Each structure stands twice: as C-alpha cells, then as structure tokens.
Structure 1
Amino acid sequence: MEHYMSQVGLDEVLPRAAWPDLTIVRYAPGATICTQGDAAHALRFLVNGKIRVSHTSAAGKRLVLSFKQPLDLIGDIEYVQRTPYLNTVEAVTTVEMLVISFEALARHATEDVIWLNYLLTEITRKFEMKSQSMSFNLFYPVEVRLASYLLSMTPETTTLGSTVDELTDIADLIGTSYRHVNRTLKRFVEQGLIERDRRSITVVDRNRLIDVAGESIYE
C-alpha cells in the first residue's frame, strides 16, 4: 500500500493519520466500481489499471465522459457535497484502488490544508473535463469517436464484444445510433483497421486506427 502511495504521490498529500484506514480493492475487467445515483460512502484512489467513466442524462442518454489511469479519484465531489455518485465507473482492465471511508476522512483530514488544496485542485479539474466531455466530444465525427473508443477499450487486449447489445451500448456511449456504429465498423473492416464477426471486434492495425482518431478524445 505504501508503495502505491509513494508511486502516485499520495503520501505527500494524504494525512498520515488516515493511512491505517486505507484498504486495497481489486476489480476485474468489466466490473462496475460505482453506479450513478447510488449512495456514496468512500473515496477511491485509482493506483493501477484503467477505468471508464460514463454519465446518464435526465433524458436517459448515456455518454462516455472519459477513460482514466492512475492517479485518479472517484468519489471526491461526492465526499465534499455528500451526494450520491454522479457517474458510473467501470473497470476496463484489472484495476486496483486504495479505498478510504468518508467517515475516516472526516476524522483525520477535515482541517489539513495540504489535503484540502489537493482535493480542490482535483475537483476543479474534473468539472472542467466534464463540461468538455459532454459537449465538445460530440462535435467530432462518429468515425473519430468510435476509433478513439475502440483504442481506449483495448489497452491490453485487441478484442472486445460485437453482439447487438454491445454495439447498442457503444452507440449510446459515444452519442450516436446503432446503425451509424454498424456502418462505421464496416468501413473500418474494409480499410483493414479491424476484423469483426458476430461476437467480437479485433483491432488489427492500431497505428492506422490512431491516425483516424487523431488524438484521444476520451483520455
């Protein structure tokens, strides 16, 4: 635990009195770490692996906000505001997190200036990123959004699912229709960027797919 804290710099901002209350939790790829609307009770520090953050609007539209790698905080806004989780967070790869309860933080860190400054910086950054993600990303063409999504979802393996339900899920997450995703995937196959069957999509030319994405719009 102290190795992770030193590696990501947490040992410099989290009060030492709070360290005994930290635990390490591991999540398998695809696992849900927290669900939008659920009661929040702990702050999580992403110290290993990759996660996907998505948000469902009042109209029921679900969009990818970002993909995150260490160090990132889950539950910081909820801790300050004492609200339910604002977003849904899922593991893309095997994920390890350091977890501490809100109660323990309230006991040990409420008046620590270094910790509060760190928390304020992280929350400010997140609000800026959320605003950009929910509007600016939708201005990109679907092929750019889809290419970026495929790249972000395959950091360790080249394959992800391609069933109707999974493609519908991808379409919702990048803000387009199932048919548009299907057409774009067909073009990617024709261009030799991916291979596809009824069960899976396999990235076969990652460099050219990166060229299509131009830049990662989700990371």
Structure 2
Amino acid sequence: METTRDAAAAGRLLAGVGLGGIFMPESVASMELRTYADKERVCDRGELLGGLYVVVAGRLKIYTVLPNGKTMLLRFSTAPMLIGDVEWSGHYPACNSVEASGRATLLFLGRTHVQANEMNNPPFLQLMIRNLSHKLSTLGNGASTNLLYPTEHRVASYLLTLLPSAGETGPREEIRTTNLMEMAELLGTSYRHLNRVIKRLADSGLLSRRRGRLYVLDEEKLRAFADNHLYT
C-alpha cells in the first residue's frame, strides 16, 4: 500500500467522483491517500477499523468467510462508495473482508476527524444514509443470487459485474482463466463444475475462451440470462 497526504489531491479526487463539498475542509486536509495493488487487502473480517474509506478509483471485492472456511462473494464496490460506514456507525469490527480488484485508490479519514468535523455536517450524513441504503439493498440482491440462483446465473452475474465500466478499457483482471479457482470459491462451486458451466456458456455463444481469458460475446443475452443481477 502506498500512502500520501495531499489535501489538494484529495479535494480533486472527491470532486472527480461527485463528492466535492461533501466533507468539511478540515476533514479533506486530514485525509490519507491510499493506493492498493491488485488483490491487496484493505481489511479483514473482524478487524477494528480506524475510520472511514472513500473509494475514488478502481474496484474493491467484498466477501465474507463462512464458518466452514469457504468464502462467499457479496459485491464489488466502486467510486464513490464508502467502506467502514456500517462499522463506524455501530462501533463494530469489520463485517466482511475487502480487497482491491485491480489497482484501487481510497481516501481514509480517521475516526477522530469524523467525530470532530462531520457529525453535524448534513451533506456528509446524507452521504452516509445513501451508502447504508445501497448496501442494505445489495445485500438482499447478493443473498438471493447466491442462495436461489443456479451456478450458471451466478457466473453470468459475476462476469457482467467485471465488465469494464465507462472510461475503462480491456478485460478485468479476474476474467483471466488462471483465476478460475478463486472464482469458483467465491461463487460457491467447484473448479470442475465451473469449467463445465463456462463451456456451456461458450457453446451457447455467450462467451469466448481463448489465450487464458474469458470474453463476453453477447452482453445483452448474458444480462438477460443473469436476470440482470449484478454483484454491485
């Protein structure tokens, strides 16, 4: 992790994701700019967080570890989501594990600065409410996708979530077939069954598998196949 403190850069990054003017100037001046490499951990489930994170670039993978030791994918978070808002408001340890999915940039604001500068700041409190509402909604969607949908639908949802968003180019790192073991674990299936599912999707003309990567050939049909459920 690379860490710097630059109030001007923090202000530009916040403005770039639509959060300009949300935080008090004192908070912006106190923010740390943290850059994470691909697969680098932001926090582990059960860890005590020292404040709030604001995602300003890149993508984070949010997952939980089940009692049997297996992992389950919950969602991906992109700018301008907050990390640690649930834990901060209730003084809880981290509910889930969070890691970078590709290079990701976050702004970190310590708990003392949140307490001193933001507790009576309406724009900040409204941002917290929006984020908490979004997480409540996506938790339900993620649970229904993981529990009620067959593997084919979960694979389709996962791949659609990883498609480059506006302004991004090229396939996401996770669509490399060398990461299928991790993908199988996150989606609650076996590596062998995942390969069978990918072959069926490829035979149906929805995907292509070549040179160690998966490519979406027909996004519209794949989206319909996934019932438009995404891990976001």
What TM-score, normalized to structure 2?
Answer: 0.79
Helix, strand or coil: the match of 2:20?
helix
Decide whether the 8 Å contact of 2:161 with 2:230 is kept in 1: no
Decide whether the 8 Å contact of 1:39 with 1:83 is kept in 2: yes
State the Cα distance separating 1:95 from its structure 2 match: 1.4
State the Cα distance separating 1:161 from its structure 2 match: 3.8
Aligned match of 2:197: 184
Aligned match of 2:32: 23
In structure 2, distance between residues paired with 1:135 and 1:213 = 12
In structure 1, distance between residues paired with 2:27 and 2:137 = 29
**How does 1:25-104 map onto structure 2 within 5 Å?**
25-104=34-113
Structure 1: give runs of 5+ residues left out of the alignment. none
In structure 1, distance between residues paired with 2:160 and 2:183 = 13
State the Cα distance separating 1:214 from its structure 2 match: 4.4
Provide Cα deviations, 1:1-48, integer angstroms capped at 9, x if missing partner: 222222333233222221110122222222222221222113111111
Task: Return the match for 1:175 from 174, 184, 188.
Answer: 188
Deviates more, 1:43-52 or 1:107-116: 107-116
In structure 1, distance between residues paired with 2:93 and 2:70 = 19
Aligned match of 1:195: 209
In structure 2, distance between residues paired with 1:124 and 1:209 = 28
Aligned match of 1:217: 230
Which amino acid in 2 is paired with 1:90? E
Helix, strand or coil: the match of 1:38?
coil
**How does 1:140-151 map onto structure 2 within 5 Å?**
140-151=149-160
In structure 2, distance between residues paired with 1:42 and 1:201 = 37
In structure 2, distance between residues paired with 1:101 and 1:114 = 18
Which amino acid in 1 is paired with 2:11? E
What TM-score, normalized to structure 1?
Answer: 0.84
Decide whether the 8 Å contact of 1:25 with 1:99 is kept in 2: yes
Helix, strand or coil: the match of 2:130?
helix
Which amino acid in 1 is paired with 2:200? R
Structure 2: give runs of 5+ residues left out of the alignment. 1-9
CA RMSD of the aligned region, Å?
2.5
From the superposition, tell whether residues 179 and 67 of structure 1 become closer, same or farther in structure 2 (CA, over 3 Å).
Answer: same
Aligned match of 1:162: 177
Helix, strand or coil: the match of 2:141?
helix
Which amino acid in 1 is paired with 2:198? L
- Between Structure 1 and Structure 2, how many residues are aligned? 215
State the Cα distance separating 1:146 from its structure 2 match: 0.6
Which amino acid in 1 is paired with 2:44? T
In structure 1, distance between residues paired with 2:127 and 2:133 = 10
From the superposition, tell whether residues 103 and 44 of structure 1 become closer, same or farther in structure 2 (CA, over 3 Å).
Answer: same
Helix, strand or coil: the match of 1:3?
helix
Aligned match of 2:5: none
Which amino acid in 2 is paired with 1:194? S
Decide whether the 8 Å contact of 1:195 with 1:204 is kept in 2: no
Identity of aligned residues (%): 28
